[in-house]
Structure 1
């Protein structure tokens, strides 16, 4: 068998482009921004017109960023939030969670495509 050699020329621009893409601080900023926007949207949508409303659910919606800035989480803190989101056989759904999430998800994907493109 013959032995050969393999070489690539002109890798300088490729290496520079890869180093530029490896700076993940922009990703962390996008995660932080979208997490806080999702929290605001959920709080805005957590205004209930049916039944007894005290504003406890709206105040209980919190956000946190973890995993060194790569994970954002927004959640309601009241134990009865699932009943508001999904409804029960006695109560119609007053979903404040999913519409906010799906709206913000579009923005998040757009922001990530912008910084990766």
Structure 2
């Protein structure tokens, strides 16, 4: 998928996390939440042949500070957003909306 998500204020967050938290704990939170996001996206994915669902992948990047969900299915973006001929069947956005609250909560626990 070519669409991305931008998080503002990451430099402040990273500075605060570095100051009072073990970075390996942060990396574990990123990995766990990324894995849960992947599982949710797979759960919400529409299934005809199952190719889309099977090809939602998680990659951990930026030295463990970034979790990226992507799909090898060339039509994944059309399923997510639709076309002028059909409405979309979002699977990544609902998964993200669900997971972001847990991710924020997990990071807040680390900062206390």
Q: Distance in 1 between matches of 2:96 and 2:107?
A: 16
User: In the alignment, what sits opposite 2:108?
Assistant: 113
Q: Which secondary structure state, in structure 1, belongs to the residue aligned with residue 69 of structure 2? A: strand
User: In the alignment, what sits opposite 2:42?
Assistant: 43
Question: Structure 1 23/77 Cα, relative in aligned 2: closer, same or farther at 3 Å?
Answer: same
User: In the alignment, what sits opposite 2:29?
Assistant: 30
Question: Structure 1 115/22 Cα, relative in aligned 2: closer, same or farther at 3 Å?
Answer: closer
Larger radius of gyration: 1
Q: Which secondary structure state, in structure 2, belongs to the residue aligned with residue 91 of structure 1? A: coil
- For residues 58-92 of structure 1, give each alpha carbon's deviation from its aligned partner in whole angstroms, at most 9, with x where no partner exists: 01100010111111111122111111111112112
Q: Is the contact between residue 31 and residue 67 of structure 2 (CA under 8 Å) also seen in structure 1?
A: yes
Question: Number of aligned pairs?
Answer: 96
**TM-score normalised to structure 2 length:** 0.79
More RCO (CA 8 Å, sep 6+): 2
**TM-score normalised to structure 1 length:** 0.76
User: In the alignment, what sits opposite 2:59?
Assistant: 64
Runs of 5+ consecutive residues of structure 1 not aligned to the other structure: 1-18
User: In the alignment, what sits opposite 2:10?
Assistant: none
> Is 1:78 matched with 2:77?
no
User: In the alignment, what sits opposite 1:88?
Assistant: 83
Q: Distance in 1 between matches of 2:20 and 2:68?
A: 25
Which segments of structure 1 move beyond 3 Å, counting only runs of 4 or more? Answer: none
